[in-house]
Structure 1
Amino acid sequence: MNLMIVESPNKVRKIKDILGAGWDVAASVGHIRDLPVKELGITMPGYQPQYELSSRGADVVKTLRARAARADVVYLATDPDREGEAIAWHLAEALKLKGAQRVTFDAITPDVIRRALTQPRSVDRHLVHAQEARRVLDRLVGYQVSPVLSRQTARRGLSAGRVQSPAVRMVVDREREIDAFVEVRHFGAELSFDSNSWRAQWETAPFLKKSTAAAKANEENEAPEARYILDEALATRAAACRACIVLTSANRIAKQPPPPPFTTSTLLQAASIQLRWKPDVTAQVAQRLFEAGLITYHRTDSQNFSAEALKEVRGFAAKRSLPLPPSARTWRARGNAQEAHEAIRPTHFESEQAGDDPAQQQLYRLIWLRAVASQLADAEWSVNTTRLQSPPQPAAGEERFTFKAEGRVLVVPGWKALTAKDDADEDEDARDGESCGKVPVLAVGAEPRAETGRVLHKKTQPPPRYTQAGLIKKLESMGIGRPSTYPAILKNVQTRGYLEDDRKYLRPTELGMVVVDALITRFSFVEYAFTRDLEQQLDDIAEGKAEYLSVVGAADERLQRELLALSRAPRMAAPPGSAPIWKPSSTPASAGRPAAAVVREAELPPKAKTAKKSTRKTTAGVGTERPTPRTGKATAAPADAPVRKPRKQQAPGAATTESAPIPCPVCKVGSIVLRSEDAKFYGCSQFTETNCRFSIWRTVAGRPLSEVDVAALCRDGHTGKLTGFMSKAGRPFEAALVLNKEGRVEFSFQPRS
């Protein structure tokens, strides 16, 4: 009997039917472990995440462990992405699996699953490290910046996010562009011919005032008269023209290729535009279609099909007499695309309709049309372009006005025979409306006469607000976040009240603007270029081109400097007359706070006689097999090793004892400092220079430590017996504090001679 473990229970029955006898199929129901909710959960040095089983995860592990014990081979078939790879690693660790096989498939069909079983492998640690790095970075930013943000703005419960905050900033920046926009009213002219069957637009460029070279280099610096016609009388004279001479007239065939198949991003955009769905709804419906075996894996950035799928879709199109190009279409990979999976498509092109409910059927149809159309022939347009000129106008100083008419007619439908337009393009309808009608091809020198003319009253438009589809497109184009995270990001920023959906357009709330103003210029993670570069570094980890520790360490070191600088800054003043905005806190007040010693939580009986290890069931992450920052050599910590407690954010300032500075017992270079009056711990002064992470909490098990206590720990390695400690059960106890070889503080109950 073999056991296959998948993520979703919705896949179990279908996969079991495919595999048949001799197979057991079970589901992990997503993640079974995660970082603790009430604290940072990251151990220094090494940025080792400390995982805890969720209550549901504990039940799942118990069930899976029993089923795995009966299996000859266990196959970990979680989703084929970084999250899925991480879940597979967690399962292998929690179940203590030896020799488990990792298999992936991007479609739930018999052929695909059986082929996957012929290509088992081990868990890809690079992918796991990349997922872990993202999780740790998100936690470092969220848990450390959010409390500071609330203090600086005097608004409780605010949150910051490594990708969430740049997304909010985009909408805030756009809103401020709109607020700063100055409307310019200007004029144009249009002539109509042949009973208004075609029109010609006045070419205004020759009449615009000259710009300086500097202004031309930056269009925004140009004066309005250098870009627009502000003289209505001039436009009236142009509209009064009737006699015209043809300067040029030409016809050309313009080919329009079909849009590529859907990626995650373009599917989210298309469903937003065509179905008016929010991204998280689209993601949920796509997940159900995938689990039902109706579409391929929906988290992908590839625009290309597999060779097998290309053969299948071209065969289907030929059978249906749909127009095909001579060869299959492929698209060049975009800059940051990983292309780990093929583009989204139906698993069976013959099924034009599928899905268990109307929502599934709508999304499936959108995917089916796009997938088939992507491989059809170009649409062809007949484009006629004519330029006309009026004769000299003696009454107006021999003025000549030039007009241009361009019209196009679809002559070969190609892919448009199946679907009329690109569902993910919000601007296509507007572009189609720019045609000048059925413009004829005229002989050069011909003299058509305009029947009517009119002055066009125009005004410049501010940049449009983002729609959900537009923001997704912008995030992707700037390399911020990854498409699979966009639904959660957009839902989160609206749930928290930073953005609101106003008749399909996103607007920042006053709270969103406050958050952005508090972060901008203070934190790198809200800068677009920094966030984009960090995303690329995460991709490099996944590809084995970068190390977890170097990427996370560099990002956190920068974050600590910025937190330190911010803690010195004065608080932001609230707007006059505004009341504090109270929101449910997403970061628990106890986040990262120890209950006992500096790096270890002690659950101690009142009369314990020996130092005890923590009994907390926390598991170090895959990072326990990474190089240490100082030696570069790999260290392997067992899963049940004592857990270092997470550090809290560091604050500026310093404190010294009345005598000489206290030397750091770990790096031997720095001295022990108190970083500010409200700092929670003492730390090494060489934190930024040598990355020394030694620290001692100011309060241990409810007892404040004096500088004399700290000096004794650092110089002698221990204190004398101290009173005033309080156990978690509320019982007082006394003990000495000792510094172990790893620089961690422990309780000691043995008398010292």
Structure 2
Amino acid sequence: MKKVLIVESPKKAKEISHYLGKDFIVKATVGHFKDLPEDEMGVDLQTYQPKFVIKSSNHKKILSEIKKLSQDAEVYIATDPDREGYAIGYFMWEELKKKAKTVKRAEFHEITKDHIVEKIKEAVDFEKTNFGLFNAFLGRRVGDRIVGYTLSPIASREIGGRFSVGRVQSPAVRLIVEREREILNFKPTPYYVLTALLEKDGIKFTALYEKQKIEDKQEAEKIYQDIKDEKTAAVEKVEKKQIKQSPKPPFTTSTLQQSANSVYRFPPEKTMMLAQDLFESGLITYHRTDSTRLSDQAITGIRKLIEKEFGKEYLPKNPRVYKSKNTQADAHEAIRITNFVPLKDQEALVKEKGLSEDHFKLLKLIYERTVACQMEDAVFERTNITLKIKNHTFKASGSILKFKGYKAVYDLEEDDEESQSLPKIEKNQLINIQSINLEEKFTKPPARYTEGSLVKKLEELGIGRPSTYATIIKTIKERGYVVKEGSSLKPTDLAFHLVDYLNQKYNWVIDYNFTKKMEEFLDKVEENKKDWKEFVKHLHQKSVSTTRSKVSKKMLDYAKDLAKKHGKDIDAILDDPQKLKEFINDHADKKPSEKQITYAKSLSEKTGLPLTEKELSDKKLLTKWINKAKKEALKNYQLSEKQKNVLIKYGREDLIEKPAEALKFIASKLKRFKK
């Protein structure tokens, strides 16, 4: 009997087909093949029933081919094991359930031969799977569509300009705006630091006054004047203790994005793209997870690798067990390597799969964290010394790394012991003072968010889920709400306008607690404890404005110009957006301007698209034709080096191969720069 296996990605399909051989035909849906329509709400606001459509002609062709292949076949739907992946699988099941002999669900958490063969054996009938996953997807997709399509036009009209409102993107914009306001309103205050540079046996070290920050200038100067000419410090106490530092758990989606941003400055969307490739190439486990659990087989493989590469002393007696905060997460594993081989062999695998240097950088990070999480603690010997200079207490600390432990492989922690070396010191000794320094310092404002620290904050507040952090950040950059300055995220004027407007009129959209509760509601939907329509209804009711919309300045000015031109009195309808809109539609010039006609003719020459008299005499038709011609012209457009540099400057290299989106992005930057 024919066997057909369906996944999302052609790359994953190719990789899996190597393992399954001739028994299986492996096909890819090429991502979501169904979605809500782009040019309309696509949701019945009475019943909340969505209208999903096939996304493109290419997806229609793919679906038709899969349907033919699945006729009377044994079908396995093995799309990703998260809500989005399940939704793709659910739509495919609906298309195939009457054609195929059987439709089963298989979940792959790694693309390795043994795992795939095992999971296909364990596959269950699709109708026995958890439909709560699909309902949670519906709640999110339909709810977000209603919020966006209802509030974005209102915000755009009332603020003036183009604004988009999103259930999770808007709270993220609020975070960045609030941080910027903290920075702008910050007033530095002075404080004073008193240090002594000491020396013994040729080793110099620093001791700090017991109050590390002295806020009173007079107090600081009084102490300094009292001791500035002293030549020795008396050792009052010497304490030595052993400090152990344990490795961090293996990566989750969030911690991987944070580390990759901190170490390599990778934006979260880049990290996810690289991780997707590593997963599909069979080099790491599934990369959308908030679990820190490792399977027993993985722990065995990691421990063997540690013993072979580092020796028995680096291996704890018992495996380390990491538990996730929520038990639901533990259904999945953490992000880890799938091949338990040394780093040089990991690099060879990356090259063999035809992947890039950046892929290896990310794999190296995952390899190091995977191995480190099962290694022995790092051991430090910490020495704390208390000294007296006259009758004032100073303290010095220093640490020596006695045993590397997990730091032999993963040494990226920021919470390392102090590295100051101390000479051999005993109680009651007198230590030479080289100098005593009093320094004025100032408190610093909080730092702007980086993409990594924003992911951490979103996770802390429960905004979004592991699979959405990268999309949230990518969206707010694309919409022009934030720009990257170095590695920091800085809000634009648009962000301030939007947050101030929402704060005043639709505060619930940017309420962190409300957003968190909505995410928790969707988790309950996934567990079949709540109804997705209840989620959507709640968002819809909140989105529908109870106050009459204001008229934007742009609309008002245009209507007044038309009234003057036609000799009409519109004072009575100036506060009514609906009546003003009708007046504009009735009196707006139907003929295109000379400028518009000239532009259309130049586009016709460039693209070869025919331009008829009918279009040249109707403003609406000509505008439609121009939009079509612009898309055609962009197909062969090549970005200049200058334009590419603008994209690189703002961290949008991903748009270099997408000229239409790139030009739109560059135009938005130039517009703000001119302001």
* Category of TM-score, reference length = shorter chain: 0.7 to 0.9
Secondary structure of residue in 2 paired with 1:67: helix
What is the 5 A alignment of 1:236-251? Answer: 236-251=225-240
Q: Secondary structure at the match of 1:482?
A: coil
Aligned AA (2:358): A
1:414 equivalenced with 2:415 (yes/no):
no
Q: Which residue of 2 aligns with 1:470?
A: 453
Aligned letter for 1:458? K
**Is structure 2 residue 113 aligned with structure 1 residue 107?**
no
Amino acid at match of 1:300: T
Equivalent in the alignment of 2:508: 524
Paired amino acid for 2:131: R
Aligned equivalents of 1:573, 1:166: Cα separation in 2: 27
Q: Is the 8 A contact 1:301 1:337 kept in 2?
A: no
TM superposition score normalised by structure 1: 0.68
- Give a deviation string over 1:421-475, Cα, whole Å, max 9, x none: 23xxxxx1xx55x837223564444433423211122111110111111111111
- In structure 2, the residue matched to 1:564 is 546
Alignment-derived partner of residue 329 in structure 1: 320
Structure 2 counterpart of 1:131? 137
Spell out, residue by residue over 1:50-91, the C-alpha distance to the aligned partner (whole angstroms, 9 max, x if none).
1111223222211111011152x1111101111111111101
Query: Displacement of 1:243 after TM fit?
Result: 3.7
Equivalent residue, structure 1, for 2:3: 2
**Secondary structure in 2 matching 1:58:** helix
1:283 has 2:269 as partner: no
Q: How far does residue 265 in structure 1 lie from its aligned partner after superposition?
A: 1.2
* Secondary structure of 2:338's aligned partner: coil
For 2:197 and 2:11, the matched residues in 1 are separated by 62
Matches within 5 A, 1:121-520: 121=124, 122=126, 123-155=129-161, 157-194=162-199, 195=202, 197-204=204-211, 225=216, 231-322=220-311, 323-334=314-325, 338-350=329-341, 351-353=345-347, 354-355=349-350, 356=354, 357-391=356-390, 400-422=391-413, 428=414, 432=416, 435=418, 437-440=420-423, 442-520=425-503
State the secondary structure of the residue aligned to 1:199. Answer: strand
Is 1:153–1:571's contact at 8 Å kept on the other side of the alignment? Answer: no
Q: Residues 104 and 557 (structure 1 numbering): CA distance in 2 closer, same or farther, change over 3 Å?
A: same
Alignment partner, residue 33 of structure 1: 34
Within 2, Cα distance between the matches of 1:545 and 1:308? 33
SS in 2 for 1:42: coil
Alignment of 1:596-635 (within 5 A): none
Q: Secondary structure of 1:129's partner?
A: helix
User: 1: distance between equivalents of 2:177 and 2:461?
Assistant: 16
For 1:154, give the aligned amino acid.
G
Distance 1:240 1:124 in 2: 77
**1:389 Cα offset (Å):** 2.3
Conserved 8 A contact 2:203-2:422: no
- Pairing 1:3-152 to 2, within 5 Å after superposition: 3-55=4-56, 56-71=58-73, 73-97=74-98, 99-121=102-124, 122=126, 123-152=129-158
**Would you say the 8 A contact 1:191–1:201 is kept in 2?**
yes
SS of 1:259's equivalent in the other structure is coil
Corresponding position of 2:653: none
Deviates more, 1:88-97 or 1:249-258: 88-97
Partners of 1:33 and 1:52 within 8 A in 2: yes
SS of equivalent residue, structure 2 residue 165 = coil
* 8 Å Cα contact 1:166-1:527 kept in structure 2: yes
Counterpart Cα distance in 1 of 2:39 and 2:224? 68
Q: Which moved more, 1:505-514 or 1:116-125?
A: 116-125
Name the CA distance, whole Å, in 2 between partners of 1:491 and 1:481. 13
Contact 2:253-2:290 within 8 A present in 1 as well: yes
Query: In structure 2, how many angstroms separate the alpha carbons of the residues matched to 1:478 and 1:229?
Result: 43
The offset of 1:15, in angstroms, is 1.4
User: 2: distance between equivalents of 1:182 and 1:234?
Assistant: 27
C-alpha contact (below 8 Å) 1:384/1:441 kept by paired residues: no
Are the counterparts in 2 of residues 191 and 453 from structure 1 also a CA contact under 8 Å?
A: yes
SS of residue matched to 2:331: coil
Q: Is the 8 A contact 1:236 1:455 kept in 2?
A: no
Residue 380 of structure 1: how far off its partner (Å): 0.7
Stretches of structure 1 that go unaligned for 5 or more consecutive residues are 209-223, 392-399, 423-427, 581-675, 681-697, 703-753
Letter paired with 1:59: K
C-alpha RMSD over aligned residues: 2.7
Separation in 2 of the partners of 1:239 and 1:485? 57
Q: Deviations over 1:669-725 (max 9, x none)?
A: xxxxxxx95569xxxxxxxxxxxxxxxxx9xxx9xxxxxxxxxxxxxxxxxxxxxxx
SS in 2 for 1:148: helix
Larger Cα-atom Rg: 1
> Which residue of structure 2 aligns with residue 540 of structure 1?
524
Query: Which one-letter code corresponds to 2:346 in the other structure?
Result: E
Instruction: Give the stretch that moved more between structures: 438-447 or 351-360.
Output: 438-447
Any idea what the Cα deviations from partners look like across 1:481-507, whole Å, max 9, x if unmatched? 112112221111111111000011110
For residues 182 and 468 of structure 1, do their structure 2 counterparts lie closer, same or farther at Cα, with a shift above 3 Å needed?
same
Q: Distance in 1 between matches of 2:404 and 2:175?
A: 38
Cα distance in 1, alignment partners of residues 552 and 207 from structure 2: 56
C-alpha separation between the residues in 1 aligned to 2:526 and 2:205?
A: 57
Q: Matches of 1:197 and 1:15 in 2, distance apart?
A: 61
Deviation digits for residues 261-305 of structure 1, max 9, x if unmatched?
111112112222222222212111111111111111111111121
Tell me by how many angstroms 1:346 deviates.
1.4
* Partners of 2:233 and 2:431 within 8 A in 1: yes
1:241 touches 1:390 (CA, 8 Å); kept in 2?
Answer: yes
Q: Distance in 1 between matches of 2:302 and 2:218?
A: 52
Over 3 Å counting, the alpha-carbon distance change for 1:417 and 1:573 in structure 2 is farther
How far did residue 307 of structure 1 move? 1.1
Q: By percentage of residues, which structure has more helix?
A: 2
- Distance in 2 (CA, whole Å) between partners of 1:444 and 1:413 is 29
Tell me if structure 2 keeps the 8 A contact 1:191–1:239: no
- Unpaired runs of 5+ residues, structure 2, are 559-574, 587-675
- Go from structure 1 to structure 2 and tell me whether the alpha carbon gap of 1:449 and 1:30 turns closer, same or farther (over 3 Å shift): same
Aligned counterparts, 1:723-738, within 5 A:
none
When residues 326 and 236 of structure 1 are mapped into structure 2, their CA distance, relative to the original with a 3 A threshold, is farther
Correspondence for 1:597: none
Single out whichever of 459-468 and 270-279 deviates more from structure 2: 270-279
Residues 235 and 472 from structure 1, CA distance in 2 versus in 1: closer, same or farther, beyond 3 angstroms? farther
Q: Could you tell me which amino acid in structure 1 is paired with residue 392 of structure 2? A: F
Supply the AA of the counterpart residue of 2:119: A
The Cα offsets for residues 501-542 of structure 1, whole Å up to 9 and x where unpaired, read as 001111001111111111124331211111111111111211
Q: Is the 8 A contact 1:247 1:387 kept in 2?
A: yes
Q: Which amino acid aligns with 1:386?
A: I
Give the letter for the 2:339 counterpart. Answer: H
Kindly provide the amino acid, as one letter, of the partner of residue 77 in structure 1. A
Judging changes above 3 Å, is the alpha-carbon distance between structure 1 residues 241 and 470 closer, same or farther for their aligned structure 2 residues?
farther
The CA distance in 2 between the partners of 1:571 and 1:479, in whole Å, is 36
Amino acid at match of 2:336: R
One-letter amino acid of the counterpart of residue 249, structure 1: V
| Structure 1 segments of 4+ aligned residues over 6 angstroms from their partners | 571-574
Q: Aligned partners of 1:469 and 1:316: how far apart in 2? A: 30
Aligned residue type for 1:363: L
Inter-partner Cα distance in structure 2 for 1:36 and 1:373? 47
Offset of residue 136 of structure 1: 1.2
Is the 2:194–2:220 Cα contact (8 Å) retained in structure 1? Answer: no
Separation in 2, partners of 1:182, 1:193: 35
> 1:204–1:239: structure 2 CA closer, same or farther, 3 Å change rule?
farther
> In structure 2, how many angstroms separate the alpha carbons of the residues matched to 1:200 and 1:571?
66
